[in-house]
């Protein structure tokens, strides 16, 4: 009983990777406590900077920017940073500047208390969860232009989105000054935009792209999945199925036009879906391609409305 109690407390406060319990039948034997890691929370950038200043020498810092409503996809980014040995700093900030639709911003799920718990359990060291006025003391007037990167897909259908992403990521990179920044392949075009931002501004940071984490039925994990009705959730694996269909058709030698037409037909047969785009593109430049590229270079990307919820997904092969 006492073991169980201590174990639970330990699970809450300790970094699992440092101190994994050894299971021996029903008995849980406790390992020596190596490191206490209650996640340290900040809501101001000044306090976060002050906290990080003495920790910089001798330790790399990994930044995981998020908009909260955390799930296993976010956890995988935290874990990647931990595996790299970084002091892990996550941010939780629903960035109004990247929403081109006010309803979408209002509906965006928020669960800060749960997020803190999940970050702590994942072994995150520090969280920045600032207010909008903390991040934007005045409305930004800066305009970023990502050129070709924002003429297609998310850039075309969400005007101003990547300007907002670029501004907030630049702010976070300046505030945290991490050695590495972790982003998910789930938002592939965002990865390309951040890569360009880092290059254009010479931010001294390494960008790490992490694989998409999926539910058992193939649905890419997303905070927006929480807004799906049970009926819509049951239909949602169709996005991944459509991507696999297109990938299979390309592997059989069909053209990119045929593969895209097949995806369009796939969604048009079900009135619950509204396909916004499907594109076959270079996975780094996001420019449309007419044929399959070298392994790991081709991406199939799509955006679909399922009821009121807009979902995006991609496969890279």
CB 275 within 8 A of CB 304: yes
Note if 179 is an active site residue.
no
Q: Work out whether 183 is an interface residue with ligand AMP (CB under 6 A).
A: yes
Catalytic residue among 74, 161, 179, 240: 74
Residue of the chain from 89, 213, 281, 302 that contacts ligand AMP (CB under 6 A): 213
Nearest to 130 by CA among 171, 74, 75: 171
Distance CA 18, CA 92 (A): 24
Nearest to 184 by CA among 271, 74, 101, 99: 74
Cβ proximity to ligand AMP, 173 vs 249, nearer residue: 173
b/e for 183-205, b at 16 or more Cβ within 10 A? bbbbbbbbbbbbebbbeeeebeb
Q: Work out whether 187 is an interface residue with ligand AMP (CB under 6 A).
A: yes
Q: Work out whether 130 is an interface residue with ligand AMP (CB under 6 A).
A: no
Cβ proximity to ligand AMP, 125 vs 187, nearer residue: 187
Q: Work out whether 189 is an interface residue with ligand AMP (CB under 6 A).
A: no
Q: What track of x and - describes contact with ligand AMP for positions 68 through 87 (by CB under 6 A)? A: -----xx-xx----------
Nearest to 148 by CA among 196, 198, 108, 100: 196
Q: How far is the CB of 256 from ligand AMP (least distance, A)?
A: 25
Cβ proximity to ligand AMP, 183 vs 273, nearer residue: 183
Cβ proximity to ligand AMP, 183 vs 203, nearer residue: 183
Distance CA 19, CA 121 (A): 12
Q: Work out whether 223 is an interface residue with ligand AMP (CB under 6 A).
A: yes
Site stretch for ligand AMP (CB under 6 A), options 107-115, 156-164, 221-229, 249-257: 221-229
Cβ proximity to ligand AMP, 86 vs 259, nearer residue: 86
Distance CA 100, CA 103 (A): 9
Q: Work out whether 222 is an interface residue with ligand AMP (CB under 6 A).
A: yes
Q: How far is the CB of 109 from ligand AMP (least distance, A)?
A: 10
Q: How far is the CB of 212 from ligand AMP (least distance, A)?
A: 4
Q: Work out whether 210 is an interface residue with ligand AMP (CB under 6 A).
A: yes
CA-based end-to-end distance of the chain: 50
Cβ proximity to ligand AMP, 124 vs 259, nearer residue: 124
Q: Work out whether 66 is an interface residue with ligand AMP (CB under 6 A).
A: yes
Distance CA 52, CA 174 (A): 13
**Can you state the angle between helices 2-13 and 112-122, rounded to 10 degrees?**
100
Instruction: Enumerate the H helices of the chain as residue ranges.
Output: 2-13, 45-52, 72-83, 102-107, 112-122, 132-135, 153-157, 161-176, 188-201, 230-235, 238-251, 256-268
Q: Work out whether 247 is an interface residue with ligand AMP (CB under 6 A).
A: no
Using the structure block, give the residue that is written with the tokens 């209002």. Answer: 106
Give the interface with ligand AMP as residue ranges (CB under 6 A). 66-67, 73-74, 76-77, 183-184, 186-187, 210, 212-213, 220-223
Q: Which residues are annotated as catalytic?
A: 74
């Amino acid at each position: 009983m006492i073991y169980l109690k201590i174990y639970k407390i330990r699970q809450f406060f300790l970094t699992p990777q440092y101190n994994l319990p050894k299971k021996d039948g029903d008995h849980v034997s406790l390992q020596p406590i190596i490191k206490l890691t209650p996640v340290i929370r900040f809501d101001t950038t000044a306090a976060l900077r002050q906290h990080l200043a003495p920790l910089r020498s001798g330790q790399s810092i990994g930044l995981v920017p998020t908009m909260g409503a955390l799930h296993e996809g976010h956890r995988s980014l935290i874990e990647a940073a931990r595996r790299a040995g970084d002091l892990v700093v996550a941010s939780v900030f629903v960035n109004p500047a990247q929403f081109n639709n006010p309803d979408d911003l209002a509906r965006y799920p928020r669960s800060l208390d749960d997020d803190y718990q999940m970050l702590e359990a994942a072994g995150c060291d520090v969280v920045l969860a600032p207010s909008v006025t903390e991040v934007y003391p005045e409305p930004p007037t800066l305009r970023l232009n990502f050129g070709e990167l924002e003429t297609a897909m998310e850039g075309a259908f969400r005007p101003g989105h990547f300007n907002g992403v670029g501004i907030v990521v630049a702010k976070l990179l300046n505030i945290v000054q991490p050695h590495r920044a972790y982003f998910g392949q789930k938002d592939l075009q965002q990865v390309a935009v951040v890569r360009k931002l880092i290059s254009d501004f010479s931010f001294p940071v390494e960008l790490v792209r992490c694989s998409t984490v999926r539910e058992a039925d193939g649905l890419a994990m997303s905070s927006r999945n929480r807004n799906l009705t049970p009926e819509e959730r049951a239909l949602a694996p169709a996005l991944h199925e459509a991507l696999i269909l297109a990938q299979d058709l390309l592997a059989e030698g069909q053209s990119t036009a045929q593969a895209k037409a097949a995806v369009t037909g796939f969604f048009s047969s079900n009135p619950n879906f509204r396909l916004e785009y499907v594109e076959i593109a270079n996975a780094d430049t996001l420019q449309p391609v007419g044929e399959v590229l070298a392994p790991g270079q081709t991406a199939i990307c799509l955006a679909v409305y399922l009821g009121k919820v807009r979902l995006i997904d991609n496969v890279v092969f």
